[in-house]
A and B are shown apart, each in its own frame.
Chain A
């Protein structure tokens, strides 16, 4: 078991990891930027250390400062949270080589999944269904390129091997646009990711985003904990998530979950991870794997009954998982709303001091937040100030519970997207379930301004 964990993150996830550590009897070291000196998790840590100025490049992304802080404080492990360095293979490797534990998979696993072409190859080998597309990287030869697109059939999507999270991609509807699109995307990929390699896939018109949570111990024990639907997105940013994914046959989900587990065993995966899929016309298509803890992990915690962060810390410390896949159920329905400091109409960020803070409570309501009365939302980081999560026996009851919770919640002094969530909880498409990934943007376009 780990003794002392350095939390290389901030905000709600730093607090979430700290709580998990506390329950396991693990000491915590908080590292923080000058902008986060008064953060709650800093106050509650066993030790805390300022690692640099507010700008993330000089603090939370400073690999050497983080490693040295861990060594100075005598931490035996570093938890990267999500974002920042959580999927940085070089950082994981640096920690491993220093003799410390990176709470996550091996640097090698992160590298395989970080390159979308090698990730797809690994998935195909494990029998995980993928979007039909090019075999490996796109050829430079124009005729071969055109033939590849014809074989896939238009519309196709050209993607950067080093991309992910919605960046570095372009949809092509006809052959005359193909060469320009490939050239442009290649240049963007070269600049943004330092890797000009591209691949091509069939472009799905109305897919849902459904993902599978996995948990592995690195000793050959791997499990899938359930599916989440994260189709409510704006500009590839998830706004709301729920578990289970509504309206999908349990048997199809179980099949794909088992395939994910096989893939984890084949690549020797350790820790928690998420396989992201597009789901269209009853079929799953793998898009990418996130080799870290995710923002929306609580919805799966509530439906599976497994504390994902505690399990992650245990396997990082070398524990063997003693679960049985058959015992991992899906109990009830959970929904998460990401509460952001932003204008609910223009989506312009709204940093500043919170002058009023009233949060909901009661049965089946969970709030993960680092904010509160008097907290100043800094302009340097992500705009999420809270995750409001509800759990109820059925989806219908969860919707009712979320509606009530949103009514109760009040944040003053800054603008938040609470109003947007209140509207979405009344929106017929979302209420019915099974909307596609373009639903929210379509709805926003026709929404009337206040």
Chain B
């Protein structure tokens, strides 16, 4: 299972209402869990007893949270797209970005703009903290609920 696929699964989980997603294929398995707004990934566990001969996705909303090998940073916050549209990370072409990785942001600070149907809608953070990751590309089309920024 390559990183690209795992990344795609993380996105799938984030866009869904599922709290956990488990996949077994070709002797490997992966389990993704969601705690509030944070997605936790756990390294592939041991191969299950019976090897699956095709992709098998096990999902359950009532699954007990498994003990994580990676402890999520409790203060992690993911800013998601509040609407579908085109993501702009700068106020205007050629101008400096609203925020960069490593920047400290205040509550209600404008961190990006989503353009839809000739209207420009500013997106503000709900939390203060440090921008640790920008999760979408400038100029790309983002879907409702798509993660845009990770703030610690």
A348 touches B83 (CB 8 A): yes
Chain B 107-137 per-residue mask, 1 if CB under 8 angstroms from chain A, else 0: 0000000011111010000000000000000
A349 touches B144 (CB 8 A): no
* Size range of the chain B interface in the assembly: 10 to 19
CA distance in complex: A352, B116 (Å) = 11
> How far apart are B104's CB and chain A's nearest CB, in angstroms?
29
* Size range of the chain A interface in the assembly: 10 to 19
Task: Determine which residue in B84, B85, B86, B119 has the highest number of CB atoms from chain A within 10 A of its CB, and name it.
Answer: B84
CA distance in complex: A350, B116 (Å) = 8
A352 touches B117 (CB 8 A): no
Secondary structure at chain B's binding surface: helix, strand, loop or mixed? Answer: strand
- Taking CB atoms and an 8 Å cut-off, the chain A residues in 331-387 that contact chain B are 341-342, 348-352, 379-383
Q: Known A348-B83, A349-B85; judge A379-B121 contact (CB<8 A).
A: no
A351 touches B84 (CB 8 A): yes
Q: Does B26 contact A (CB under 8 A)?
A: no
Partner of B121, one of A55, A341, A348, A381: A348
Q: Considering only CB atoms, which chain B residue lies closest to A347 in the complex?
A: B119
Task: Determine which residue in B84, B117, B141, B144 has the highest number of CB atoms from chain A within 10 A of its CB, and name it.
Answer: B117
A348 touches B84 (CB 8 A): no
A379 touches B86 (CB 8 A): yes
> How far apart are A159's CB and chain B's nearest CB, in angstroms?
22
Interface contacts beyond A349-B85, A350-B116, A379-B84: sample of 10 additional A-B pairs, CB < 8 Å, sorted by A: A54-B141, A342-B117, A348-B116, A350-B84, A351-B83, A351-B84, A351-B85, A379-B86, A380-B86, A380-B117
- Taking CB atoms and an 8 Å cut-off, the chain B residues in 58-102 that contact chain A are 83-86
A341 touches B117 (CB 8 A): yes
B119 touches A348 (CB 8 A): yes
A379 touches B117 (CB 8 A): yes
For A351, the chain B residues whose CB sits under 8 A away are 83-85, 116-117
CA distance in complex: A348, B120 (Å) = 10
A382 touches B84 (CB 8 A): no
A382 touches B119 (CB 8 A): no
For B121, the chain A residues whose CB sits under 8 A away are 348
Q: Considering only CB atoms, which chain B residue lies closest to A340 in the complex?
A: B117
A-B complex: 9 closest residue pairs judged by Cβ atoms: A349-B117, A349-B116, A383-B117, A379-B116, A379-B85, A351-B84, A349-B119, A351-B116, A379-B84
For A349, the chain B residues whose CB sits under 8 A away are 83, 85, 116-117, 119
Q: Considering only CB atoms, which chain B residue lies closest to A352 in the complex?
A: B84
CA distance in complex: A383, B116 (Å) = 9
Q: Considering only CB atoms, which chain A residue lies closest to B144 in the complex?
A: A352
For B116, the chain A residues whose CB sits under 8 A away are 348-351, 379
Task: Determine which residue in A55, A351, A352, A382 has the highest number of CB atoms from chain B within 10 A of its CB, and name it.
Answer: A351
Chain A 205-244 per-residue mask, 1 if CB under 8 angstroms from chain B, else 0: 0000000000000000000000000000000000000000
For B115, the chain A residues whose CB sits under 8 A away are 379
A382 touches B83 (CB 8 A): no
CA distance in complex: A348, B115 (Å) = 11
Q: List 6 A-B contacts (CB under 8 A).
A: A55-B86, A341-B117, A348-B83, A379-B84, A381-B118, A383-B117
CA distance in complex: A379, B114 (Å) = 10
